[in-house]
Chain A
Amino acid sequence: MGVGQAPVVKRPWLPRWLTSEHPFPWLFPAAALMVVFGLYPLYKAVETSLYKKNAATRKLVWDPDFNWTKVLFDERVWNALFNTLMYTGIALFFQLVLGMLIALLLDSDRKGYGLLRAMMTLPLVIPPSVTAMMFLLMLNGSFGVLARGLVAMGFIPPGFPILGDSSTAMAGVLLAEIWQWTPFMVLIMLAGLRSLPKEPFEAAAIDGATPVQAFFRLTLPMMSKVIAIAVLIRGIDLMRAFDYVKVMTDSGPGTATETMTSYAGRIYFGNADFPYASTISLLTLILVIVTSTLFMRIFKVKL
């Protein structure tokens, strides 16, 4: 490659930590970006949450306990927390089960399956806000094709506003979420399935194990690491869900689909109460940190 002949450029006047032999110059741009746009705003968010917004004068007053006490007794926070956890749990369950089933279905070397697998990846790259619009269109009470289908099957009365009724709005939002991100699980499960060794399955088949037994006794245990990583990454993204809720229901009707993130957004835009919006945002961060750390400890996963 000619590197052998390249003269070694030595710059003795440069301190060693500024040369390429030292990690500093390599890491500095990344560190700078993460400090300026990550740590500093985070510090400002914590600081902002310690102020109280005076409703009358619209001034910020130093009052460290105010927002953090308020948050504990705010029923809407508990509602949003419940919605966030329910949203995360239901979506994870469906994405995991459907993802595994579809992966098993598509895991074949036959002709045409490669095309089907490639098609399955397409939903992943649609902007979530556009996906939300897709389902808004299909779930529209008066002309939505999906709503019409549900009416024809007798599940809902004609003209029923699925996203406008507090009993079904969350299901409607979840439908978009599950549609878009089940392919994520499919892809990861497929990668996991393809990396499994063949011998245990051959041995099991000789011993007369049924495919179902082989799945539960062999496939699942051997895939546990892959499943744990998929659940961790997906779960973190689910807990900060915003786009679908914002576009499809705007947290409504009432607070039926309000999640932590969308509640913070509502406080921010609606009341311009920056300190309280910061507090709720930080609570979301704490939720993510606590649950992901617990998950990583319990299931012994490391990314």
Chain B
Amino acid sequence: MELSRRWQLLRDVAAVLVTGIFMFPIFWWALTSIKPISAVFDKDRVVWFDFVPTLINYGVTLFGMSRSQLAIDDGLGMGVAGSSSYDSRQSILDSIIISVGSTAITMVVAVLAAYALSRMRFNGRDSFLNWVLGQRFMPPIAILVPMVTIYAGLGMRDNQNLVLGYVGIILIYALMNLPIALLLLKSFFDDVPQDVDQAAMIDGATRWQSFSKVVLPMVKGGVAAAAVLCFIFAWTEFLLSLFLTTQIRAIPVKIQTFVTSTGNEWGFITALGTAAIIPSFIFILLVQRHLVRGLTLGSLKE
């Protein structure tokens, strides 16, 4: 419907304003990460832009620089207790290993199952789909308590063996992401007409060949979208990695360790937080087109 120019202008202003309100926490977060300590903790006024920007928070968390430099630069002699615990390079590596590993496993497992559930007719097909859906609805806390005991028993929780620790987290994340990946991929496979693989099989291809050579290449976009979503969910997960491992500190858990009894290290928290959300921002903008379908488990298409 046509709006008069005045109304259209009002709408534009409102749209920008609302989006601005939603962007503000992210902006404030990023701004805090380049503030010196004195500007973060100013009790007398809100410091907007009148501060000398510093990258020391990024230096300490991302590059392992010494924390004492921060105190010198800021002219404060406050609690300089060494830098090791704020150096987050290992956490970033941990997060990458866990997210990439679990995404790879989820995708392989989900692509296979999604193809069969989309293409084959067999007894128990609906029950299997309901099982998958039920898995998505299950609160992680319900399996968490026994999982901690099981992992501890297998030496996966305290990680004397770091590889076992990674395997444990990767597998539980793979399970967490399986339903969403599977249902999303199934909806993409459903979009490909059955005639396509029927024709391939009439030409003599086996099921596997018609899947790998014909159908799978046709849903590349969907596979990429599902992989991106799995990566983001693994990257942002908190509860499972908090409980299930004591040595591997993925970024969301690592940030919490900057909350100390003497005060929160907001500079480090915001710097690591900002660095952690940038990859997700890039990825999500790449899959905008399939986002709604992904978030609704394939049931709504855009």
Interface residues of A (CB under 8 A from B): 1, 3-4, 6-9, 19-21, 23, 25-27, 29-31, 33-34, 37-38, 41-42, 44-45, 48, 102, 105-106, 108, 110, 112-113, 116, 118-131, 133-138, 142-143, 145, 148, 179, 182-184, 187-188, 190-192, 194-195, 201, 205, 211, 226, 229-230, 233, 236, 239-240, 242-243, 246-247, 260-261, 264-265, 268, 274, 277-278, 281-282, 284-285, 288-289, 292, 303
B209 adjacent to A134 (CB under 8 Å) = no
User: How many whole Å from A52's CB to the nearest CB in chain B?
Assistant: 15
| B220 at interface by CB-CB < 8 Å | no
Shortest distance between the CB of B117 and any CB in chain A (Å): 8
**Residues B299 and A229 in contact, CB atoms below 8 Å apart:** yes
Flag if A23 contacts B122 (CB, 8 Å).
yes
A205 interface neighbour in B1, B110, B207, Cβ under 8 Å: B1
A125-B283 CB under 8 A given contacts A137-B32, A277-B145: yes
- If A41-B150, A121-B291 touch, does A105 touch B255 (CB 8 Å cutoff)? no
* B143 within 8 Å of A (CB atoms): yes
Q: How far is the CB of B129 from chain A (nearest CB, A)?
A: 9
Q: How far is the CB of B181 from chain A (nearest CB, A)?
A: 10
> Which residues of B lie under 8 Å from residue A205 when comparing CB positions?
1
Least Cβ distance of B196 to chain A in Å?
A: 11
What are 30 A-B interface contacts by the 8 Å CB criterion? A21-B206, A27-B116, A30-B113, A33-B174, A37-B175, A42-B138, A48-B145, A106-B15, A118-B288, A124-B295, A125-B283, A128-B236, A134-B26, A137-B29, A188-B296, A188-B300, A190-B292, A191-B292, A194-B302, A226-B300, A229-B300, A233-B295, A240-B139, A261-B139, A264-B145, A278-B145, A281-B141, A281-B145, A285-B139, A292-B137
Q: How far is the CB of B172 from chain A (nearest CB, A)?
A: 6
Not counting A45-B143, A106-B19, A127-B252, a sample of 11 additional A-B residue pairs whose C-beta atoms are within 8 angstroms of each other reads A6-B204, A30-B132, A41-B147, A42-B146, A112-B12, A125-B284, A137-B29, A179-B22, A261-B139, A261-B141, A261-B239
Checking B112, B235, B238 against A243 with a beta-carbon cut-off of 8 angstroms, the contacting residue is B238
Q: Which residues of B contact A191 (CB under 8 A)?
A: 292, 300-302
**Given A233-B296, A240-B141, A277-B145 in contact, is the A8-B205 Cβ separation under 8 Å?**
yes
> In the complex, A19→B280 CA distance in Å?
39
A277 contact set on B, CB distance < 8 A: 145
Interface residues of B in 110-154 (CB under 8 A from A): 110, 112-113, 115-117, 120, 122, 125, 128, 131-133, 135, 137-150
In the bound complex, do residue A30 and residue B204 qualify as a contact, i.e. CB atoms below 8 Å apart? no
Q: A41-B143, A133-B273 are in contact. Are A30 and B292 (CB under 8 A)?
A: no
Are B292 and A187 neighbours in the complex by a CB distance under 8 Å? yes
What size tier do the contact residues of chain B reach? Answer: 35 or more
Q: Check A142 against B43 for contact (C-beta < 8 Å).
A: yes
Partner of A285, one of B46, B138, B238: B138
In the assembled complex, which residues on chain A have CB atoms less than 8 Å from the CB atom of B65?
none
- Least Cβ–Cβ distance between A289 and chain B, in angstroms: 7
| A116 partner residues in chain B, CB cutoff 8 A | 15-16, 19
Q: Most chain-B Cβ atoms within 10 A of its Cβ — which of A134, A187, A274?
A: A134
On whether the beta carbons of B116 and A26 are closer than 8 Å, the reply is yes
B29 touches A134 (CB 8 A): yes
Judging by beta carbons under 8 Å apart, are A130 and B284 in contact?
A: no
